[in-house]
């Protein structure tokens, strides 16, 4: 992805030098790995963090890699802002209101509760902010096998996709429904929400390629590979578990790849209606 030297977003809230490190369940790398798996399998990151027993100050060290990741995220976010402003105007006749992206190191607080390195990136509809510890990109590449800068861009675009859902009312509606049904039904709705965010990420990729010429050969393959690596069935299998469809909250690898491609190939919001697609089957 061609991103160096390009405009960054002004909607970045950098808390990396004021973040505080969380000691989850007494600390230890084993707990962190378990918490990461809970996030990756669709668990509630807030619930994990609420088990914290205390906090310790972060060492506050910002490495050159941290700075490069922050610059990268800022450029990707700026791209999403321009693209979604165009899409909202042209396809919805509405004004797009950008999200704020919070960069933190080790741990911070969000409008949805605590956040730390184990939770992975997430969108909080309460404060309209995306939370990201850029160390997650290392996890994405080294532990999950999703390599490349466009794999990381896909992650950011997916979270922005949740903000889009929030703006057009889908997130609030589905959250209310999920609170009124059983666990299996709630998980099934969660899958449709996540797959739509994947589709929105694909839509963004199409428009970014068209508007900025920022995509390079192999970038879409990196995103498709990332979608495979973070599918519920693949994550459960890699964790030594038999895939349990009723517990899926983000979709299978095949589904996530399909819906990213759907957004990329069609480049329209109405082509990302995962709900209609599911109910018509």
> Which DSSP string corresponds to 218-241?
THHHHHHHHHHHT-HHHHHHHTT-
Q: Does 208 map to a domain?
A: yes
pTM for the full predicted model: 0.84
Task: Sort residue 42 into left (φ over 0), alpha (ψ -120 to 50) or beta.
Answer: left
How many domains are there within the chain?
Answer: 1
Beta bridge partners of 12: 101
Q: Does 147 map to a domain?
A: yes
**Residue 111 pLDDT greater than 50, yes or no:** yes
Q: Does 2 map to a domain?
A: no
Which contiguous run of DSSP H or E holds residue 129? strand 129-132
Q: Are 156 and 99 in contact (CB under 8 A)?
A: no
Share of the chain above pLDDT 90, in %: 57
Higher-pLDDT residue of 61 and 235 is 235
Rounded to the nearest 5°, which phi and psi values hold at 266? -100, -30
**Residue 84 pLDDT greater than 80, yes or no:** yes
| Mean pLDDT of all residues in 195-205 | 97
Q: What's the CA gap between 58 and 1, in Å, rounded?
A: 32
Residue with tokens 């909202």: 88
| Mean pLDDT of all residues in 190-196 | 96
Q: Does 180 map to a domain?
A: yes
Which pLDDT belongs to residue 278?
66
Q: Does 249 map to a domain?
A: yes
**Residue 183 pLDDT greater than 90, yes or no:** yes
Q: Does 118 map to a domain?
A: yes
Q: Does 218 map to a domain?
A: yes
Which has the minimum average pLDDT: 26-30, 60-64, 138-142, 213-217?
Answer: 26-30
Residue with tokens 């027993």: 53
Which pLDDT belongs to residue 30?
35
Which has the minimum average pLDDT: 49-58, 99-108, 249-258?
Answer: 49-58
State the chain's mean pLDDT as an integer. Answer: 83
- Find the domain containing 139 and state its range: 12-280
Q: Does 5 map to a domain?
A: no
**Residue 263 pLDDT greater than 60, yes or no:** yes
Confidence at 2, pLDDT banded by 50, 70, 90: confident
| Mean pLDDT of all residues in 35-41 | 42
Which has the minimum average pLDDT: 32-46, 56-70, 132-146?
Answer: 32-46
| Mean pLDDT of all residues in 190-203 | 96
**Residue 64 pLDDT greater than 90, yes or no:** no
Which contiguous run of DSSP H or E holds residue 161? helix 149-167
Higher-pLDDT residue of 105 and 95 is 95
| Mean pLDDT of all residues in 177-190 | 93
Max CA separation in the chain (angstroms): 53
Which pLDDT belongs to residue 93?
96
**DSSP letter at 42?**
T
């Amino acid at each position: 992805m061609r991103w160096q030297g390009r405009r960054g977003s002004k909607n970045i809230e950098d808390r990396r030098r004021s973040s505080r490190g969380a000691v989850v369940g007494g600390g230890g790398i084993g707990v962190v790995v378990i918490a990461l798996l809970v996030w990756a399998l669709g668990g509630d990151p807030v619930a994990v963090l609420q088990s914290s027993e205390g906090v310790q100050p972060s060492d506050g060290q910002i490495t050159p890699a941290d700075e490069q990741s922050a610059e990268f995220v800022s450029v990707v976010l700026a791209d999403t802002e321009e693209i979604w402003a165009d899409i909202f105007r042209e396809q919805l006749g509405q004004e797009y209101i950008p999200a704020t992206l919070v960069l933190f190191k080790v741990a911070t607080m969000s409008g949805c509760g605590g956040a730390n390195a184990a939770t992975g990136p997430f969108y909080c509809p309460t404060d309209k902010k995306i939370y990201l510890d850029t160390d997650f990109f290392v996890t994405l590449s080294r532990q999950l096998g999703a390599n490349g800068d466009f794999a990381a861009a896909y992650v950011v675009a997916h979270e922005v996709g949740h903000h889009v859902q929030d703006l057009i009312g889908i997130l609030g509606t589905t959250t209310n429904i999920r609170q009124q049904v059983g666990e299996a039904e709630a998980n099934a709705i969660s899958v449709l929400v996540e797959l739509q965010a994947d589709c929105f990420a694909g839509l963004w990729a199409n428009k970014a390629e068209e508007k900025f010429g920022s995509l390079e050969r192999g970038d879409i393959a990196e995103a498709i590979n990332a979608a495979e690596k973070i599918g519920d069935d693949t994550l459960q299998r890699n964790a030594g578990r038999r895939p349990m469809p009723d517990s899926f909250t983000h979709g299978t690898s095949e589904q996530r790849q399909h819906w990213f491609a759907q957004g990329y190939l069609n480049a329209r919001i109405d082509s990302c209606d995962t709900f209609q697609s599911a109910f018509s089957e």
